[in-house]
Each structure stands twice: as C-alpha cells, then as structure tokens.
Amino acid sequence: MVIILTVSINTLIVLHSHGWKNQARGDTPMRSIQEPKQSPIAIGTRWTLKSSILGEERQILVRVPTGHDTCEQAYPVLYLLDGEDTLFHSASGVIAHLSEWEDHLPEMIVVGIRNTDRTRDMLPTAVTLPNGRRHGGGADAFLEFIANELIPFVEETYRAGPYRMLCGTSASALTVVYEYLSQMIGFSAYLASSPTLDWDERLVFRMIENQASSELSTDAPLVMFAGGHDQGSIADDCKAFNKLLLELEPGSPRVSYRVYDVEGHCPFEGFRDGLLWLMKDWRVSEECIDQGIDAVSEHFESLRLTHGFNISIRSYEEAAHRWASRGRIDDAILWLKQGRAIYPKSADLAFGLALCFIRDKQEDAAGILLADAIASGLEDPRLSQLLERVSA
C-alpha cells in the first residue's frame, strides 16, 4: 500500500528584473520596463509517497504532456531511475521536443524516482568491500516498490497507458539490466546508460549464462550506450554483454548498443538516440502519406494494437501539413476533422483546420469553426485574430 503524504508543484522561476548598463553608451541607463511581472514556470509535480515495502518516504517527479488534462487518451510512461531534478528536467525537455515540437515520438508521461539510499536500491546483490562494509542488495525490494506501489499510483492518478519504459544511469542502469533479465516487473522497453555491469563479479553475465533456456525471457527491446572515455571497464563490459545477448539471439532487432567516442560517463546523446531507436516506427513515412488517409490510419492503428499508442495532436498536425504541402487539401481537412473529434479542446487543431478551410476557399466554414471554438472556451489569440480576418 502506498500513502500520499504531500503534493507540491516543482517549478523553475526564471523571470527576474535586472538593471543593466548600456555598455555601448557608457553609463547611460537603458529605458526600464514599466512594472515588469514574473510568474513561475511549472514543468511537473512533486509527490511524496510513503512506501510500506521500503518502510520510508519516497519522492517522485511527474511531467505530463501538454494535452494530458484536456483529452481522454492514455500515454506511454517513462520511469526514470536516478530521477533527480537535473536528469528529470533534461529528460522531460528532450521528450517534449521530440514529441510535441517534432513528431518523432508519442507524447509520454515522465516519472522521475528520486534516491534515498542509492547503493542499497540500485545494486542487486550485497557485496562486502575491502573496508569490510556491505553495499547493495536492495534492488529486489526497490523493484517491488515500483511494481506494487508506484506503478499502481501512477496509473490511478494519470492517463497512463500499458506501454512502460525503464531508464537508468550508471548504477541505476545496472538495475535496468537486472530487471531486463529477471523480469520481476516486465517493462515494454529498457534504456541503460553506462551500466556498471562488473558489479559482484559480473552478476548479470552469470544470469545469462545460467539460464536454462537459450533464449531471452522477454521480447522487450534493450538499448545500452556508453562513452568512449567512460569510467573503468564500462564501455568494454557493455560491448561484451551486447555480444553475449546477440549470441543468444543472432541478429536480434531488439538489442541496440552504441559507444559515443568523444563522450564520458552516461552520454546524454544516448538517451535521445535510444528513444528515437525505440520509437523508429512512430513517424509516418512519406510513402504512407502518399497512399492517403486509410494508410496513415492503419499505421497508427497498428501502433495502438501493438503498443497501446494513440495518435497525438502533433501527429494530426504533421500529417495534415504534409498533405497540404502536396496540394491534397481535402485529405488534410478530413484528417484534421478526425483529430478535432478526438481532441475537441485543442486550439492547435482548430486553428489548423480553419487555415485549411481558408486555403480551400471555404471562408464561411472557417468562420463557423472559429466562432464555435471560441464560444466553447478555447483561449488562443490566433483563433480570434483569424476570425476577424475571415469576417472582414
């Protein structure tokens, strides 16, 4: 059982008023802004949970897609180990850019799990060090917390779909690989950045070698990456581990390993590239666009059936733009109408559909759409400005 103790907004306050001298004009002050205002930028929510499994409080950071609260769709979830503020902010930014600005990934929920006792939780077995101290041994309990307390909480609180990813760095990347082999939870995909695979005399290597079956116990993909100037033997160990996996399944399309030659420990480029590799089937191909709406619909229906992914607002915009740029305005209009039926509170789709109507010389239809969108409560200055234009 997990008990919610506190909730607070995790914010970055970035706007401040400063007085600057105009360097080009000596000490002449620049004209000051009258009554500047500042407000916080919230990128997520911080939750404090009380875990009965771990017997302690744990903090998690959660970032949801922009449209999370205005639609009915479910989203994939990335569970981020070592989910402290910096890594959480970085991962959230990359995902937002690749999914909401570009259309290379489905939009997703990011759940950062902050540490309390990192060596206890991330190291699967307890090892006695030369100084006599015992380290590790708590990974099973930590994974039990994720499976039986954290995931149920996330799925009860947010629009979480069935597709879950587990990501970790360094020692927590070892936890990712350990879970990949043990399948205590069973994630849909795994990302391991510079995993410390040499722990306990290469425990994870022995786990593979001791398997009764010659096959992996999961069909989930695993992405591993390291830096060319990584710590110790990490890069070599990752290469050897990848080789061992491929010996079990030669040519497996589910295993990816890359070394970033000029980078050090936990190269962040690997996180971005790993996400793109995992989601390489998300983006609609040019050939599919050329085949029309039925082909694009079949593409996304296949992703929904296999992964539980839903078509995002950005995907509706992107496909419509590509059709419009080819002069296929009828396809663009029909596609955006379908998107509006699913996302009626999306100002972006309303604006895009109105533009397509105008391009198709359907100004009356554009005006009706814009007026209805504004009347329904959509607050976007572009809508009112465009309505003034078509009403003139």
SS3 for 167-192, per residue? EEECHHHHHHHHHHHHCCCCCCEEEE
pLDDT, position 289 = 92
Calpha distance 138→116 (Å, rounded): 12
Residue 27: per-residue pLDDT: 58
Report residue 1's pLDDT band, with 50, 70 and 90 as the boundaries. low
Interatomic CA distance for residues 53 and 142, integer angstroms: 8
CA distances 233 to 125, 194, 261, Å, are 20, 10, 14
Q: How far apart are CA 214 and CA 252, in angstroms?
A: 14
Q: Is the pLDDT of residue 363 over 70?
A: yes
Cβ–Cβ < 8 Å for 105, 45 = no
pLDDT for the residue 6? 46
Kindly tell me the burial class for residue 69, based on how many C-beta atoms sit within 10 Å of its own C-beta (0-12, 13-18, 19 or more).
exposed
Six token digits for residue 56 = 């302690």
CB 220, CB 197: distance < 8 Å: no
* 8 A C-beta contact, residue 198 and residue 112: no
Tokens describing residue 105: 């990934």
d(CA 68, CA 74): 8
* pLDDT tens per residue across span 138-151: 999 999 999 999 99
Distance of CA 291 to the CA centre of its chain: 30
Dist CA 268 CA 338 (whole Å)? 37
Mean pLDDT of 340-362: 94
**Residue that the structure tokens 């996180």 belong to:** 271
pTM, whole model, 2 decimals?
0.87
Provide the percentage of residues in the chain whose pLDDT is more than 70: 91
Where do the domains of the chain lie, and which CATH numbers do they carry?
A: 2-10+40-278 (3.40.50.1820), 286-391 (1.25.40.10)
C-alpha to C-alpha distance for 326 and 339, rounded to whole angstroms: 20
Amino acid at 288: C
Q: What are phi and psi of 11, to 5 degrees?
A: -125, 160
Q: Which two tokens stand for residue 227?
A: 């830096």
Average confidence (pLDDT) over 241-257: 84
For 169-228, how does the pLDDT look when each residue is reduced to its tens digit (9 = 90+)?
A: 999 999 999 999 999 999 999 999 999 999 999 999 999 887 755 567 788 999 999 999
User: Is residue 148 within 8 Å of 160, Cβ to Cβ?
Assistant: no
Given this model, what pLDDT does residue 21 score?
39
Two tokens, residue 94:
């990359």
pLDDT at position 15: 34
- Judge whether residue 11 has pLDDT over 80: no
pLDDT tens digits, one per residue of 14-36: 333 333 334 444 555 566 788 88
Q: What is the dihedral of CA 179, 182, 183, 185, to 10 degrees?
A: -60
Top mean-pLDDT range of 64-73, 157-166, 248-257: 157-166
pLDDT tens digit sequence for 62-84: 999 988 887 778 999 999 999 99
Compute the average pLDDT of residues 121-129.
Answer: 91
CA 379 – CA 221 distance, rounded (Å): 41
pLDDT above 70 for 308: yes
CB 218 within 8 A of CB 186: yes
What is the overall mean pLDDT for the chain?
89
18, 299, 372 from 28: Cα distances, Å: 15, 61, 51
Using DSSP's 3-state secondary structure scheme, residue 211 falls into coil
CB atoms within 10 A of CB 212: 4
Residue 332 identity (one-letter amino acid)? A
CA 124 vs CA 91, 135, 141: distances in Å: 25, 10, 9
Tell me the C-alpha distance between 90 and 270, whole Å: 13
Under the banding of pLDDT at 50, 70 and 90, the label for residue 8 is very low
- Residue 239: band (very low, low, confident or very high) from pLDDT cuts 50, 70, 90: very high
Side-chain half-sphere exposure of 198, counting CA atoms within 13 A:
9
pLDDT at 54 > cutoff 90: yes
Which is more confidently placed, 212 or 122?
A: 122
First to last CA, the chain: 61
